Structure formats: structure tokens, C-alpha cells
């Protein structure tokens, strides 16, 4: 196995462990696989939107799991090159029978996630459910 192929396989394993933990209800267990200088970027129109460091990311994960149903996650695409992994996921919205598409772009170095950039496709279903549960 070449160095690049090995790096890609390890990076994909780190990222996959996040989704696997979410599906088991243990989403914050992933904290040990985050680099100390981890950065998260989420669209500002979401209640958990903004830029966060490692501690901020770990703190918001339980709230995200309250809204997104990781047990209903399917991969539309899961690709990697070197330390960059893209997970295009179809994930359930809690309290509904509907799902949304999210594109998550991970950077992994030294077997730790160092950056995550998230893009939501047509988040209306999610935003409507958040508003309904807030009232």
C-alpha cells in the first residue's frame, strides 16, 4: 500500500468513526480523535452555525444529535484523497420521517481531525423542525 493510499484509508477511518459513534448514541466519544487546534465551520443560518474550536464543537454535538438522527444516516458518497475526506450524507431529521443532504469536508492529519467544513443542501425541512420544536 502506498503512503498516500495508507493516509487516505486512515483518514477515512477517523471520519467514519464519527458517524458510527453518532449512530450508537455516543457522538461525543469522537472528541479523542480531534486535534487540539481543530476548527469547525457551519453555516450561520443554523442554531449551531458559526466557527468553533475543539471545545466548542464537542459542546454543540449533543444538540446536533437532538436534531439529526444518526441512526438514519446513509452515505451518498464517501471519498478521500490523502488527508481530505468528503462525506456526502443523507441523514434523518429527528421527529420527522424526512431526511436532508449534508456535505461534510474533513481534513485529517496525524490520525486526528483538524478541520470540518459543513454544507447543507436545502435545509428547509431541518429549519422547519427546529422552529416547530422551539415553540
What is the SS3 string spanning 63-104?
Answer: HHHHHEEEEEEEEEEEEEECCEEEEEEEEEECCCCCEEEEEE
For residue 28, the enclosing domain spans 3-134
**pLDDT: is 129 or 36 the higher one?**
36
pLDDT tens digits for range 3-55: 678 999 999 999 999 999 889 988 889 999 999 999 999 999 888 899 999 99
pTM of the full predicted structure?
0.89
CATH code assigned at 118: 3.10.450.50
User: What is the total count of domains within the chain?
Assistant: 1
Amino acid at each position: 500500500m502506498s503512503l498516500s493510499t495508507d493516509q487516505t484509508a486512515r483518514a477515512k477511518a477517523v471520519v467514519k468513526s464519527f458517524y458510527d459513534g453518532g449512530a450508537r448514541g455516543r457522538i461525543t466519544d469522537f472528541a479523542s480523535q480531534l486535534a487540539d487546534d481543530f476548527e469547525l465551520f457551519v453555516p450561520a443560518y443554523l442554531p449551531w452555525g458559526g466557527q468553533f474550536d475543539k471545545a466548542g464543537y464537542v459542546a454543540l454535538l449533543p444538540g446536533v444529535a437532538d436534531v439529526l438522527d444518526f441512526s438514519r444516516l446513509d452515505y451518498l458518497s464517501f471519498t478521500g484523497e490523502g488527508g481530505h475526506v468528503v462525506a456526502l450524507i443523507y441523514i434523518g431529521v429527528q421527529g420527522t420521517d424526512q431526511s436532508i443532504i449534508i456535505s461534510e469536508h474533513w481534513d485529517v492529519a496525524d490520525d486526528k481531525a483538524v478541520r470540518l467544513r459543513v454544507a447543507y443542501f436545502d435545509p428547509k425541512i431541518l429549519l422547519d423542525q427546529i422552529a416547530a420544536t422551539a415553540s
